[in-house]
Amino acid sequence: MPDKKTIRVQIYRSPSHDVEDDARGGKYKEYEIPYEDRMTILRVLDCIFQYYDRSLAYYKSCRIGKCTGCLVSVDGKNKLACCTLVEDGMRLGPAEGFKIIRDLVVADSHTK
């Protein structure tokens, strides 16, 4: 039986797809997407990227809570997107304490 329930999240979007977002000059945009059983924040981002907006930038690697690359700010607190269950109305932004590249992708301290 298809699950008709939907979920809304707000996601930080940078102003341009062509230049880095040096000044945190973006805005939060709301998305409403179908809810999936035990949906994590990473699954939400995957779903938005694949079906709603291919320009969304976010980082993922291991998907199992080990590489820590998918760290994002969830209502102001840094959490791993892959292991955190989504809740309706969550506000997702780039991880706090890092320089932004674009949307949810931040520059690691090792990056030149």
Partner 1 sequence: MLAEPKVIETDVLVIGSGGAGSRAAIEVARNGLAVLITTKGVSGKSGDTPSADMDINVPSRDAKEIFGLDGDIMDTPDSFAQDIFQAGKYMNNEEVVLTLCTNASKYVKELIDWGMDITGLTQGPGHKFPRGIASTGRSMMSALKRGMRQCKIDLAEYTMVTNLLTRNGRVVGAVGINIRSGDLLVIRAKAVILATGGAMRLYPLVTAAEELTGDGMFIAYQAGAELVDMEFPMFLPACVYWPESMKGVIFPYVFSTVVGGWWLNRFGERFIEKWDPTRMERDTTRDIAAIAQSMEISRKRGGQHGGIFVSFKHIPDEIMEYSARVCPWWPNFIYGQFNLLEFDMDPRKVAYEAGPAAHYWNGGVKVNGKGETSVPGLYAAGEVQGGTQGANRLAGNGVAECLVFGALAGSSAAAYVKDAPEPDIDGAQVDMYCEQICRPLSQKTGSDVFEFRKRIQDTASDYIGPIRDKHGLVSCIGEIEKLNDEAVHQTIKNKGKVFNSEWVLALENEVMLRILEIVTRASLLRKESRGALYRTDYPDTDNKDWLKNIIITNRNGQVSLETKPVVTSRLQLPKPEKVPYLGSSKRRFT
Spatial separation of the C-alpha atoms in residues 23 and 47, rounded to whole Å: 27
Q: How far is the CB of 51 from partner 1 (least distance, A)?
A: 9
In the complex with partner 1, the residue whose CB is nearer, 22 or 30, is: 22
Which residues lie below 8 Å from residue 97, measured CB to CB, with a gap of 6+? 78
- Minimal distance, residue 32 CB to partner 1, in Å: 19
Q: How far is the CB of 82 from partner 1 (least distance, A)?
A: 8
What does the binding site for partner 1 look like in residue numbers (CB under 8 A)?
A: 16-20, 36-40, 42-43, 49-50, 54-55, 57, 59-69, 80, 82-83, 85, 101-103, 105, 108, 110-112
From residue 15, how far is each of 7, 57, 70, 95 by CA, in Å?
A: 24, 12, 21, 17
For residues 42 and 90, which CB has a smaller minimum distance to partner 1 in the complex?
42
- Residue 82, classed as helix, strand or coil, is helix
